[in-house]
Amino acid sequence: MREIKKRIQSPVYMSAAKPKQKNKLMTVKNLTETSADLYIYGEIVDNSDFKWDEADVMPDDVLQALNQVEGLNNLNIYINSPGGSVFAGIAIYNMLKRNKAKKTVFIDGVAASIASAIAMVGDTISIPTNAFFMIHNPWTLAMGDANDFRKLADDLDTIGSGILNIYMENTKEGIEGTTIQGLLDAETWLTGTEAAKYFNVEVIESKKIAACASEFLSKYDKTPQELVARVDSPKWADSKIEPQQENLKLQNELDLLNL
């Protein structure tokens, strides 16, 4: 039997409905002598020569951006992402973690799946009352025999333990690992106010920023209906991009560089 190569990700993000676009690098916004802004406003994808959407973020994007901000005192990280590749997300988290700047994370609309783990890199994490924060166990699609699936289950448990450790570094005093694991097991969607019950986040006033309406969100089991409705709306079907992402796209057209 020909061996089927398995790919672990959370969740599968490849979609034939999206045309591939030539990869463009993320650039740093509002760069000064002391601070800079970094936007993670799309799906988290593995390094490749192409992206499914300009807003998608790869580890290479973040590495390029961090090379521009080395030595700065403050790094503001804005997140509006449905998640994506676990391995790409962990790489991004570790790269950001190594940067010595004080990191302030702003969850603008949604930080779901591995994007919520990336958000945990902040020394300060701000989330509006109307934003969403979702955590769940890593999952994948695979083919193979019984031995393959036994090993795959063990691998997923190992990966899940690593992600749990990231969340536990930012939990409120007294919150046990079993509590967070229960939230992961259940695929838990939290508003800003609810997230503050478990994690060291600062709840701020609601913002008029639409959550990223990626098709990715429809792949989860418990996506809030207001987000599902946004993905399914005719406006989203026609444009495939939310207003704040359209503004970011226009800005990127001015300052992003082709590989």
161: CATH: 3.90.226.10
Active site annotation includes 35: no
Give the single-character DSSP code of 185: H
pLDDT at 148 over 70: yes
Can you tell me the distance from the alpha carbon of 8 to that of 186, in angstroms, rounded to the nearest whole number?
Answer: 19
> Tens of pLDDT along 171-187?
999 999 999 999 999 99
Can you tell me the distance from the alpha carbon of 168 to that of 166, in angstroms, rounded to the nearest whole number?
Answer: 6
Q: Identify whether 1 is part of a domain.
A: no
pLDDT at 107 over 90: yes
Q: Sign (positive/negative) of CA torsion 53, 57, 61, 67?
A: positive
Q: Identify whether 2 is part of a domain.
A: no
Record the pTM: 0.78
First-to-final CA distance of the chain:
40
Q: Provide the pLDDT for residue 212.
A: 63
Q: Provide the pLDDT for residue 147.
A: 94
Tell me how many domains the chain contains: 1
Q: Identify whether 245 is part of a domain.
A: yes
| pLDDT band, residue 30 (cuts 50/70/90) | confident
Write the CA distances from 248 to 10, 80, 193, integer angstroms: 25, 12, 27
Q: Provide the pLDDT for residue 222.
A: 79
* Selected catalytic residue, list 81, 85, 136, 214: 136
Q: Identify whether 22 is part of a domain.
A: yes
* Selected catalytic residue, list 10, 85, 113, 126: 113
Q: Identify whether 49 is part of a domain.
A: yes
| pLDDT band, residue 6 (cuts 50/70/90) | very low
Q: Provide the pLDDT for residue 143.
A: 87
pLDDT at 238 over 90: no
Query: Can you tell me the mean pLDDT for 31-37?
Result: 91
Query: Can you tell me the mean pLDDT for 186-199?
Result: 96
Q: Identify whether 18 is part of a domain.
A: yes
User: Residue 75's beta-bridge partner residues?
Assistant: 36, 103
| pLDDT band, residue 55 (cuts 50/70/90) | confident
What mean pLDDT is reported for the chain? 80
Range in 17-26, 90-99, 144-153, 206-215 the model is least confident about: 17-26
| pLDDT band, residue 213 (cuts 50/70/90) | low
Q: Which domain holds residue 15?
A: 7-255
Q: Identify whether 219 is part of a domain.
A: yes
Active site annotation includes 113: yes
